[in-house]
Structure 1
Amino acid sequence: MSKQISIIGAPMDLGQSRRGVDMGPSAIRYAGLVSRLEAIGYEVEDCGDIEISRPEKENHDHSSLKNLKAVTETNERLYQAVAEVINKKRFPLVLGGDHSIAIGTLAGAAKPYQNLGVIWYDAHGDLNTAETSPSGNIHGMPLAVSLGLGHPSLTSIGGYQPKVKPENIVIIGARSLDKGERDLIRKENIRVYTMHEIDRLGMTAVMEEAIHYLKDRTDGVHLSLDLDGLDPSDAPGVGTPVLGGISYRESHLAMEMLSEADILTSAEFVEVNPILDEKNKTAEAAVALAGSLFGEKLL
């Protein structure tokens, strides 16, 4: 990893229907992210928050996708911000916001690479399209969009598609998948470690396999960490909690192993919702995990 980190806030709350996640970047900053990374030895630049488009009262795009125009415009801005950071040879660390921001993050993060790998640390697959989504919420679609599947205004962000290939994706922590997502995973043979595999194999084996799988086939790796990948007892402040998730300690181990592997070229932490949180517990978990990801050691 570059020892120079640029933080980009993306306070988006339009990709889903529960308010509050737009305050996620502020909550993570308040929990001490910058000072934590600086204490490890990084030079940290906080670029502030990108501008978030707001939807018009009427839906003029005739789409079943909620807030499509505003989500598209915002992700175009995020794409530009991430691309600029990478052009400066700095490490982009994006703070969400709901998971729809991954559309813009991946558009920027994948641009310099031929085979970007993606670790999708999440309770959900986020592989829905307008045809398979039960809700029309775009935060359930960013991985599908990055594969080139979905509404053209989303898949064309950055001027190219797809951003990633199915064989370069590893989903970790899945425990809530819609039928359309399951069908797509089987069709494209996407590598998925559900909670069954984590329980059965242990997090050490899962991460060893994931890192080994991506290391030789990719020329960069992006981490997209949704805090609902953790169990709600450890991360209560998320919009779509799912019981039976990855533990706080298992998540630290996963981040520590990624740090030791030194394969990441970009990362994002998303779906922190302070309104649903308990004394900023979820934001503090995000900061602690970021510490492990960037090499923080006890001794």
Structure 2
Amino acid sequence: MTDSENGPAPRRTTLLGIPMDAGTHVPGARMGPDALRIAGLAGLLRELGHEVEDAGDLSAPSPQPVALAAADAARCLNLEEVAGWTRDIHDHAHRLAAAGRLPIFLGGDHALSMGSVSGIARHCREAGRELAVLWIDAHADFNTPATTPSRNMHGMSLAFLAGEPSLQPLLPDRPLAPLTPGAVSIIGLRSIDTEERRNVQARGVRCIDMRAIDEEGVAAPMRAMIEDWQRRGVHLHVSLDVDMLDPSLAPGVGTTVPGGATYREAHLIMEMLCDSGLLGSLDIVELNPFLDERGRSARLLVELVASLFGRTVLDRPPVRMRAF
């Protein structure tokens, strides 16, 4: 690949490591931030002309009490630890966005998005911007304490962000701006529980599963979403879970699901998002170096992020979506 001289305008980015794996029963994702740094993320972004500040890693917070109903609390693994992370990440996300930075949250398991997206949503509400979230994931992460089969809180992230009442005590003293119906789109979905599916449908979440990608390819649904977001003038938060990729390409994840996206499908998603000019914040989650094969998954994630920030195959002006 060569870097395009006609790529996106330089962005003021901040890398913030979130070394947590409390949201899952599989340890190892806490090593993800280091692996992404070693794979050269900051250097690639600088080569593309972006300003990069590495703010280091958040320290593990103290567990925080959560006023959940006893039955719900019993079905949430590491509840108080996740609550501590959620509140700390929320505060940092809100501050970074308010300072005009483009935050890149280096995970860590997907429960970190409870804090990152809620902090970004709070900023968007204060700034009068509409927020759209693209959840790039094999899973819907829309379980609740009542429906979860695993008790893993990384599988409840979107439900919390959409305003699930039983999970709201995770952020008891901070203004929460729940994601509105239609604000969330999931792409790459191929594993969803029965009750979770009902939750997704009830919330009006737009889902592009792997069957749709098999039938239509990536470009058509991505183009439709981007045109809708551009029409609405959204702040786009992308939450990139490594398990969206086929595990033959990216084995370093604790919740592998066969039949994921190919190398080119994943890069095309990133390239089209870059062309849109909408990206405002980013999660990179669920990388588990302990389960990886000589850094393959970390290197691929860094390559995908480079595509998201303007690395192209040919030196050509970006293909913009329809203007409104």
Normalising to structure 2: TM-score of the pair? Answer: 0.87
Shift of 1:5: 0.3
Corresponding residue for residue 12 of structure 1: 20
For the residue of structure 2 that corresponds to 1:159, the secondary structure is coil
CA distance in 2, matches of 1:157, 1:253: 40
Q: Pick closer, same or farther for the CA change 1:201–1:60 going to 2, 3 Å.
A: closer
CA distance in 1, matches of 2:173, 2:117: 10
> Aligned pair 1:109/2:117, yes or no?
no
Corresponding residue for residue 167 of structure 1: 182
Shift of 1:295: 0.6
Corresponding residue for residue 154 of structure 1: 170
Corresponding residue for residue 277 of structure 1: 292
CA distance in 1, matches of 2:207, 2:54: 33
Shift of 1:157: 6.8
Deviations 1:73-112 (A, max 9, x none): 1111111111121122110010100000000000111122
Segment drifting more, 195-204 vs 45-54: 45-54
Corresponding residue for residue 26 of structure 1: 34
**Number of residue-to-residue matches in the alignment:** 297
Q: Kindly report which structure 2 residues correspond to 1:1-299, keeping only aligned pairs within 5 A, or say none.
A: 3-53=11-61, 62=70, 63=73, 64-114=75-125, 115-149=130-164, 150-154=166-170, 156=172, 158-162=174-178, 164-217=179-232, 219-298=234-313, 299=315
Segment drifting more, 179-188 vs 86-95: 179-188
Stretches of structure 2 lacking an aligned partner (at least 5 in a row): 1-8, 316-324
- Identical-pair percentage: 40
Deviations 1:142-173 (A, max 9, x none): 111001113232254732241x1121111000
Q: Pick closer, same or farther for the CA change 1:212–1:158 going to 2, 3 Å.
A: farther
Shift of 1:191: 0.6
1:176 corresponds to which letter in structure 2?
A: S
**2:63–2:83 contact (8 Å) kept in structure 1:** no
Q: Calculate the aligned-residue CA RMSD, in Å.
A: 1.9
Q: Pick closer, same or farther for the CA change 1:8–1:135 going to 2, 3 Å.
A: same
CA distance in 2, matches of 1:246, 1:27: 22
Shift of 1:33: 0.3
**1:104–1:157 contact (8 Å) kept in structure 2:** no
For the residue of structure 1 that corresponds to 2:123, the secondary structure is coil
**1:51–1:77 contact (8 Å) kept in structure 2:** no
Shift of 1:193: 0.2
CA distance in 1, matches of 2:48, 2:58: 26
1:158 corresponds to which letter in structure 2?
A: R
CA distance in 1, matches of 2:312, 2:168: 44
For the residue of structure 1 that corresponds to 2:312, the secondary structure is coil
Stretches of structure 1 lacking an aligned partner (at least 5 in a row): none
CA distance in 2, matches of 1:157, 1:289: 36
For the residue of structure 1 that corresponds to 2:243, the secondary structure is helix
For the residue of structure 1 that corresponds to 2:134, the secondary structure is strand
CA distance in 2, matches of 1:20, 1:280: 14
Q: Which has the larger radius of gyration?
A: 2
Segment drifting more, 148-157 vs 25-34: 148-157
